[in-house]
Each structure stands twice: as structure tokens, then as C-alpha cells.
Amino acid sequence: MTSPADLTLVSNDELSDEERIFNELIANEQRIEPRDWMPDAYRKTLIRQISQHAHSEIIGMQPEGNWITRAPSLKRKAILMAKVQDEAGHGLYLYSAAQTLGITRDEMMDQLISGKAKYSSIFNYPTPTWADMGAIGWLVDGAAIANQVPLCRASYGPYGRAMVRVCKEESFHQRQGFEILLTLMQGSEEQKRMAQDAVNRWYWPSLAMFGPPDDQSPNSAQSMAWKIKRFTNDELRQRFVGMLVPQAEILGVTLPDPDLKWNDETGEYDMGEIDWDEFFQVLRGNGPCNAERLERRRTAHEEGAWVREAAAEYARKQALKTKAVA
Ligand SMILES: [Fe+2]
Ligand SMILES: [Fe+2]
């Protein structure tokens, strides 16, 4: 398989016309569309990345959905419902984008509910207090934005275009999370403690969302050569922390990293080591809520079967009617 990263090994005449056109499109910052030829590995990488991303949006509805019935006011309930609904929409755009690469929605759903597919391990942490809604919006949606803004320029057209819309909604999510924390930090001592505790629990998992350190991320170089990914995991993580520090000051919360400090020489923040053992444990399915999240998804899928059947039957009847008229 030839890819831009291998080009030094293969002279241009050894490439097929299709491969040459693909490489030129990538080199010229043009987009690859579903009708275009693409290397198998490019297609497979995108199917894996986009479907995992879609699963994360859908599973990500659960930790916050958990608080819709207990939101502290009607206004907070309406905002949270809109936010969780947005995440469902993100999942749908992304499943549709993945389908343009030749995988079906049913195949992706099977991979998710059978436990074969991965999704972001951040959603396997529990949400014991209302302040978790603030910390998730501020930190988890914040990390999602840092990751996804560069994906708006991903070389695969349907993915990049889906990201443009997703990012607009994510920035609303982050602001609503920040505002929940700000309100709590201006409240009673107990509310302040609750906000700080939620930030302490979500800070490290949100940094882990950017993936393993660059020297342990074997697929990154290829994804960057294909212009799916534009920055490395460590670059994005660093940028995110740089954004959080001034926001934490406004909130009046501390970030739970004693090694976090500005480094004049590098012009960046130095930070402590992420507990990667914990990250990989959660990724392997041993997080506090893995089983619960999957079970809930499986049940919702089974209980929703009649809706899918009814919709398919309705579509069949409509098609028959159109045919009769024609
Ligand atoms: Fe989302
Ligand atoms: Fe979001």
C-alpha cells in the first residue's frame, strides 16, 4: 500500500494513476470525496476514526442524560436537554459521514453494542453531582473543541464538513459548562467545594482525551501525512492547557496538577505526568461505568427496534404509493 508517508520509497512512475491523483489532491489541500479513489488504509483509518467518534457522541449522552430529571431549575433542564440532544445530532452526522465510506449503520451499531468498537473512555466516568455537568461542559466539551477544530480541515470532505457544524455547537456546550461552574463558584461554600471536586475529577481524564503521548501514538504520523490529523496529541493537549489556565483563574478553581507552571524558556506550561495506566485500564473496558454504559445502549437499541421497523415499513409504503402514481 502506498501512502504519502511512503513516497520517499516509491518513485512517481511506480504509482498508479489513481494513486498519483490521490496524492496530488492531498498535497494541494483539496478534499477527497466519497466518489474518489482512495487507498484502502485511508478508507479503513477514516471508518475507524469516524465511527469511534460517532459512538463517543452517542455514549456521551448518558453521563449528562443522567441529570436531566434532577437539573436544579427549569432553565437548567431545558439547556441540558438541548445539549444532550445536540450530542445525538453529532452522532448522526458522523454515522452518515462514515456510511459514505461503505460501512452500514447496522454494522457500526453491532460493533458498538457487542463491545467490539471503542469510544472515548472519558464517558466511562460517573457523574455523582450537579457540578459534573459544569466540569463536563467546560473540560470535556472544551477538549473536544480543541481536538475537532483542526478536524474541520480534515482531507476527507464529509468528515470535515460535519465537524464545522459540530464545532459551533460544542462551543455553546463549553460555555454552558463554564457558566454552571461560575454560578457554583459564586455560591455557598458547599457549592464551591462541589465545583472544585468536579474539576479535580475531570481534569486528568480530559487531558487523556487527546490520546497517548506522541512517542506512543504509532498511527499519528500516517494520519498527519494524509491530512486527517493536523496536530499531534501532545501539541493539542498543550494548547488546551494553555486555554484552561486563564479560564480557571476567572472561575476561581485550581487545576489539580502541582507541577503545572509557566515555563519562560519554552513559552508553554510545564505539566505533570498523566496516569496512563488508568487511561489504558478504562480504555480496555475496566472503567467505573463501562459495563453500565454499554448495557444501557444495548437496551435502548433493543427497545427501539419497533421504531426502526415502523419507519422502514412506512418508507416501503410511501415508495409503493409513489410508484403507483408514476
Ligand atoms: Fe458532541
Ligand atoms: Fe458537546
pLDDT value, residue 283: 77
What are the backbone angles phi and psi of residue 32, rounded to the nearest 5°?
Answer: -90, 130
Give residue 206 CA to ligand 1 midpoint distance, Å. Answer: 14
Give residue 58 CA to ligand 1 midpoint distance, Å. Answer: 9
Residues 6+ apart with CB under 8 A from 8: none
Q: Quick one: what percent of the chain has pLDDT higher than 70?
A: 96
Three cell numbers at 191? 457549592
CB atoms within 10 A of CB 164: 13
pLDDT value, residue 219: 82
Three cell numbers at 186? 459564586
Give residue 90 CA to ligand 1 midpoint distance, Å. Answer: 5
Ligand nearest 142 Cα, by number?
Answer: 2
Ligand nearest 139 Cα, by number?
Answer: 2
The SS3 assignment for 218 reads: coil
Give residue 212 CA to ligand 2 midpoint distance, Å. Answer: 22
Give residue 143 CA to ligand 2 midpoint distance, Å. Answer: 10
Which residue has 474539576 as its cell numbers? 199
Give residue 87 CA to ligand 2 midpoint distance, Å. Answer: 6
What are the backbone angles phi and psi of residue 305, rounded to the nearest 5°?
Answer: -60, -40
What's the whole-number mean pLDDT along residues 14-24? Answer: 91
Give residue 320 CA to ligand 2 midpoint distance, Å. Answer: 40
Confidence of residue 10 (pLDDT cuts 50, 70, 90): low
Give residue 251 CA to ligand 1 midpoint distance, Å. Answer: 23
Give residue 88 CA to ligand 2 midpoint distance, Å. Answer: 10
Three cell numbers at 305? 427496534
Residue 149 predicted with pLDDT over 60? yes
What's the whole-number mean pLDDT along residues 284-288? Answer: 79
pLDDT value, residue 2: 43
Give residue 86 CA to ligand 1 midpoint distance, Å. Answer: 7
Q: Which residues surround ligand 1, an ion (CB under 5 A)?
A: 57, 87, 90
Digit-coded pLDDT (tens) for 160-169? 999 999 999 9
* Arithmetic mean of pLDDT over the chain: 93
Which residue has 452517542 as its cell numbers? 58
Q: DSSP of 254-280, one letter per residue? A: PPS-TT-EEETTTTEEE-----HHHHH
pLDDT value, residue 286: 80
Which candidate, 195, 302, 312, 209, places its Cα nearest to that of 256? 195
Digit-coded pLDDT (tens) for 252-262? 999 999 999 99
Helices (H), the chain: 17-27, 40-59, 61-65, 74-99, 105-113, 131-135, 141-148, 157-185, 189-208, 220-225, 233-251, 276-281, 290-303, 305-325
Angle between helices 290-303 and 105-113 (to 10 degrees): 140
Gap between the Cα atoms of 106 and 58, Å rounded = 15
Ligand nearest 173 Cα, by number?
Answer: 2
Prediction pTM value: 0.90
Gap between the Cα atoms of 172 and 85, Å rounded = 13
What's the whole-number mean pLDDT along residues 243-269? Answer: 97
Ligand nearest 120 Cα, by number?
Answer: 1
How long is the chain? 326
Ligand nearest 170 Cα, by number?
Answer: 2
What's the whole-number mean pLDDT along residues 193-206? Answer: 97
Three cell numbers at 21? 491523483
Buried b (16+ CB within 10 A) or exposed e, 32-61: beeeeebbeebbebbbbbbbbbbbbbbbbb
Lowest mean pLDDT among 216-230, 248-262, 309-323: 216-230
Give residue 321 CA to ligand 2 midpoint distance, Å. Answer: 40
Digit-coded pLDDT (tens) for 63-92? 999 999 999 999 999 999 999 999 999 999
